[in-house]
Structure 1
Amino acid sequence: MTKEPDRLFAQPLSQVPDFAFNEDVVRVFPDMIKRSVPGYPTIVENLGVLAAQFAQPNTTLYDLGSSLGAVTQALRRHVRTEGCQVIAIDNSQAMVERCREYLNAQNSMFQELLPVTVIKGDILALDFKPASVIALNFTLQFIPPAQRLELLTCIHQALVPGGALILSEKLRFEDDQQHDLLTDLHIAFKRANGYSDLEIAQKRSAIENVMKPDSLEENRDRLLAAGFSKVVPWFQCLNFASMIALP
């Protein structure tokens, strides 16, 4: 499958529309996320490694907001626990269709992978099965803030003993100097990956009304309020981080 370079914001736009996971974004998404999110490949691959430590027999592993299924593929590569299945869910039809293509390709390359079901749907309306691993990989930041606690509470209730939620998010920082420093370093990261100042500015305009990141402290407090007993940050690169929440 060919992977197109991300040039969506390379030309001046008279009006920058809100960011959406449409066909245009899906076409360039692998390149976009690799060049935009520092540490993304490390997070995804190690999410599979972590999941293998928490997966319990005869339970479901969820990839919520699965996009093209990178996390789902990592789960299937690493988890060998008996009786597990993976459910990947996304609300973008374009993402779901391409995700299925990628997973079919994975099936042709590997044997004895966990069974997987890809669903187009709203994770806020999901009827969870008993789960041992639930991944929210840069997904919660796109959920309306007022609905995040309810979602996390449902996730906590679905997790079986010994399971875990793995949550990855872009962070904002309470300290203005720290926030500005890490924002500037993130911009430098994107420049180093070939994005122009025009692309960076237009992408920021497109996404600022759609993605609402929280601080690490806000994420931890909300997870504890949802019923989780412990929150352990395990990775941070600039203003992107991932944490394990234990039920």
Structure 2
Amino acid sequence: MTGKDSIYANQVEVKDFSFDANVVEVFPDMIQRSVPGYATIVSTMGKLAGQYAQSNSNLYDLGCSLGAVTLSMRRNIEKENCKIVAIDNSAPMVERCKLHLQGFKSDVPVEVNLADINDVNLENASVVAMNFTLQFIPPEQRHALLEKIYNSLKPGGVLLLSEKFRGENELVDNLLIDLHHDFKRHNGYSELEISQKRTAIENVMRTDLLSTHLTRLSEIGFGQTQVWYQCFNFCSMIAIK
């Protein structure tokens, strides 16, 4: 069982957000109450992984956190000799992810690794998933990481990418932020919680424009890129090699 997210419910000294043991304990509640359509995103990423998985290939979940996308992919893979590699740089997340995976029987093997995704070797991939992960990578490292992913993909392979993004101008950006904050209020977060969480995350999560994402993927070489989900300033994309 996981608890209710009340990390920022009281006045605290706000430090930069990190995926530590405290966050792990409340992460499912935090993500469901903070990201509109999260369950739909996760289930659809699994279905897309099942559609694009190729026999005798690897599927990667980069920034796997507690393994929600890994489990969703695992449920949908029917091709032969596929392996899922789940990677995260948070030790508490990796340990809890391993426990979650033990509770689900499957013929699809999963390897869970504690590592920085910038440093790992990716190979023979048919599907790479990054579910709200790239936004936590330093902006100057994003192009190289995406290029590495592209080079690891087999022909016809896909990148499944979910991101929070900035509006194209200040007016639109403020509109999207207001809508998201109202979503969080509706889900029980107080003004103090919303304010303190925003302060904690602003130096850690640096969002791109949606147009930046699409242009960068095209420049790297992806032939087809499509936004298949958007709500407020959150979206999910598929990029096909």
Range of TM-score over shorter length: over 0.9
Quote the residue 2:143 is aligned against: 149
Deviations 1:29-82 (A, max 9, x none): 000000000011100000001111111110000000000000000000111111
Identity value in percent: 54
Q: Match for 2:175 among 164, 176, 181?
A: 181
Could you tell me how far apart the structure 1 residues matched to 2:104 and 2:55 are?
A: 23
Could you tell me how far apart the structure 2 residues matched to 1:113 and 1:73 are?
A: 12
**1:77–1:113 contact (8 Å) kept in structure 2:** no
Q: Within 5 A, what are the aligned runs for 1:165-204? A: 165-204=159-198
Give the letter aligned to residue 89 of structure 1: I
Could you tell me how far apart the structure 2 residues matched to 1:117 and 1:94 are?
A: 16
Quote the residue 1:8 is aligned against: 7
3-state SS of 1:45 partner: helix
Structure 2 unaligned blocks of 5 or more: none
Deviations 1:196-242 (A, max 9, x none): 00000000000000001111100011112222122111110111000
- Per the normalisation by structure 1, the TM-score is 0.96
Could you tell me how far apart the structure 1 residues matched to 2:138 and 2:220 are?
A: 16
Quote the residue 1:97 is aligned against: 95
Quote the residue 2:19 is aligned against: 21
**1:149–1:225 contact (8 Å) kept in structure 2:** no
- 2:74 paired with 1:76: yes
Q: Displacement, 1:192? A: 0.4
Aligned residue pairs, count:
241
Give the letter aligned to residue 94 of structure 1: P
Quote the residue 1:55 is aligned against: 53
Deviations 1:159-194 (A, max 9, x none): 001210010000101122221111101000000000
Q: Show structure 1 runs of 4+ deviating over 6 A.
A: none
Give the letter aligned to residue 12 of structure 1: Q
Give the letter aligned to residue 214 of structure 1: D
Q: Match for 1:231 among 218, 225, 229?
A: 225
**1:34–1:40 contact (8 Å) kept in structure 2:** yes
Give the letter aligned to residue 113 of structure 2: I
Q: Match for 1:33 among 31, 37, 60?
A: 31
Give the letter aligned to residue 196 of structure 1: S
Give the letter aligned to residue 128 of structure 2: I
Quote the residue 1:65 is aligned against: 63
Give the letter aligned to residue 58 of structure 2: T
Could you tell me how far apart the structure 2 residues matched to 1:237 and 1:49 are?
A: 20
Quote the residue 2:235 is aligned against: 241
- Per the normalisation by structure 2, the TM-score is 0.98
3-state SS of 1:188 partner: helix
Deviations 1:138-168 (A, max 9, x none): 0000000000000000000000012100100
Could you tell me how far apart the structure 1 residues matched to 2:107 and 2:220 are?
A: 32
3-state SS of 1:106 partner: coil
Could you tell me how far apart the structure 2 residues matched to 1:177 and 1:97 are?
A: 42
Structure 1 unaligned blocks of 5 or more: none
Give the letter aligned to residue 6 of structure 1: D
Could you tell me how far apart the structure 2 residues matched to 1:233 and 1:154 are?
A: 21
Could you tell me how far apart the structure 2 residues matched to 1:91 and 1:176 are?
A: 33
